[in-house]
Amino acid sequence: MTPAMRTGPGPSSGTPAPARLLRAVGPPLSSLPLAAAVRGAVALATPLLVGVLTGWVFPSVIAAIGALWAVGQDGSDPYPSRVGRFVALGLSASLGLAGGELALRSGPSAVVTVCLVVAALVAGAIGLRGRIWSVAGMHLLLGVTIGGGIPVPGPWWQAPIALFAGVSFVLVLSSAPWLWQRHHIERAALLAVFRAASTALAAAGTPGAAENRRHLTDALDNAHQAMDRHLTSSRRQPPDARVEPLLRAFRLAVRLGEAVTTLQWEARPLPAVVIRAPLVMSARLLPVRKDGDVPVLPDFGPHSPGLHALAQLSVAADAERVDTALAAPASPRPTRQAHLRYAVLLALCVLAAQVCADLLHSPRAYWLPMTVAFVYKPDFGPVFRRALNRCVGTVVGAAAIGAVSTAVHGTHAIIGVVAFFGALMAVGVRHHYALATTGLTAVVFVLVDLLGDHRALYGARMLDTALAAALVLVVHFVAWPRSAVSRADSRTQAALAAAHRYQDLSPTVGPDRRHALRRAAYRQLADARRAAVHARREPVLRGAEPPDWERAITSAEELCDAVTARALHAAPGPAAQTTVTVASSDAM
């Protein structure tokens, strides 16, 4: 079997325009992250309350701006990752704010424009290098935008320090649970793998098997990210007693993924005892209470190779150590040309936004370039979808705060409003960009009012946001129309190469290396599928439909499944000889 990638209408072809527009807005809200919402409310209300009580209103508002940006980057990832991201955000935003302030105080508006363009070039040059670099670049530009667009009284160094203090406050709130829940995130990520494995076993022999196996891959990727620091340190020195059970559970989870894939490949329904096996393993490896009853895994009965592998793992759950040394699979990086092109286009968008702001005069001095900085982030998702959500969120946020401001009076009541919209933003960060923008827009209106700008600019801000989004879309889709397509092409090519590498080397390497090859292949296939979804959500020229990446990715996943099954003696030799190809394009 040699499925080749066809070029032609993709899955989205033929979809009515209104349906495609609704899909571009994004999925509906699914669940409420209560802890994050509370952090968002406290993080934004506390600096303002301190400012009101002490009389230091201006520094407290700048601290609240820092907290606002930090809430936008809060997450549920491991605490060391959060610390690195928050520190990068605080330093870059403070540096940008200082530069913007000095440029504004120097006098000529041209100095502010030059400072903005330089910041945009730097932000674009580093923005595609990874999550921390991307966050640092965006907030460097945001800092310059605010510093060059809002006059702040006091010494030039006071506002950057206040901004960093606001970011640090969110860092403390977000990372404080580490003190009493030291490895809660790692444990939760590992438990999610075992739950996903049980769900995947339940789907064996059904049409939903492949999708559930992908969910298992995503859970393993999250667990790998959570455990990566411990995996790296364990290669240098023996882990402490609290980390060893987590390492054992992770290494077993990696082998469990192989067994589950094999059982799914056998394509027959499994008895309940087999479906419960991963949950029993997790209860033995990661018990809730040390003095609780430890469940016993009964015999599976007659073994297929997949069941035999699962039975071996149930025994290994009680072992002292399971050795599977794995490094986190790497994803292909954008090319140097892509970095340069993004830097130039971002700088061009910021320059155009600033020129428009000068032509439209002071009420729009910072909103236009600030919106460009938020919208033009191709590494954060489809540009068209982000621009659309930004416009929707700004309209709703401006309308909401306009309605609230007519009914709410008094400083403390206003702080309560900020807390509400801060919580709304924190929820939106995890679920929907339009919702996050709604909260952010409302909070910014209140903060600007506290800084002394009492003008009602609700309609102007809506128009500014639409103008900035239009600038980004025109520049991006005229100068770089195939960016998302090229990224999907390069990710798919890398994923297919990883799948073939797994196929070629699997018969000749030991179990540890085989697990690493399999993890790298499935991880890159998942990245490629996400890049394909990203590309499908961007507008395309009529008659220039992108390739059918999904078909090639699915074929490569089937290849990896067959290779995995063959490794456990569950497939005949020819089954692992599938070949997949993809038409190449310029790498992003």
Q: How confident is the model at residue 394, as a pLDDT?
A: 93
Largest Cα span, the chain: 83
Low pLDDT (below 70) residues in the chain: 1-31, 288-332, 361-364, 454, 541-544, 569-588
Yes or no: say if 141 and 120 are a contact pair by the CB < 8 Å rule. Answer: yes
- The Cα 419–Cα 498 span in angstroms is 47
Beta-carbon-side half-sphere exposure of residue 132 (alpha carbons within 13 Å): 12
- The Cα 212–Cα 196 span in angstroms is 7
- The Cα 106–Cα 109 span in angstroms is 9
Q: How confident is the model at residue 543, as a pLDDT?
A: 57
- What does the DSSP assignment read for 98-143? HHHHHHHHTS-HHHHHHHHHHHHHHHHHHTTS-HHHHHHHHHHHHH
Yes or no: say if 414 and 61 are a contact pair by the CB < 8 Å rule. Answer: no
- What does the DSSP assignment read for 523-582? HHHHHHHHHHHHHHTS---TT-PPB-HHHHHHHHHHHHHHHHHHHTT-S-GGGG----B-
**Strand, helix or coil for residue 153:** coil
State pLDDT tens for residues 439-465. Answer: 999 999 999 888 877 677 788 889 999
State pLDDT tens for residues 36-90. Answer: 899 999 999 999 999 988 988 899 999 999 999 999 998 888 888 888 899 999 9
Number of H helices, E strands in the chain: 21, 0
Look at the block and give the residue holding tokens 């494995």.
197
**Strand, helix or coil for residue 270:** coil
- What does the DSSP assignment read for 87-101? HHHHHHHHHHHHHHH
Q: How confident is the model at residue 26, as a pLDDT?
A: 44
- The Cα 84–Cα 250 span in angstroms is 24
Q: How confident is the model at residue 306, as a pLDDT?
A: 57
Q: How confident is the model at residue 165, as a pLDDT?
A: 95
Q: How confident is the model at residue 303, as a pLDDT?
A: 55
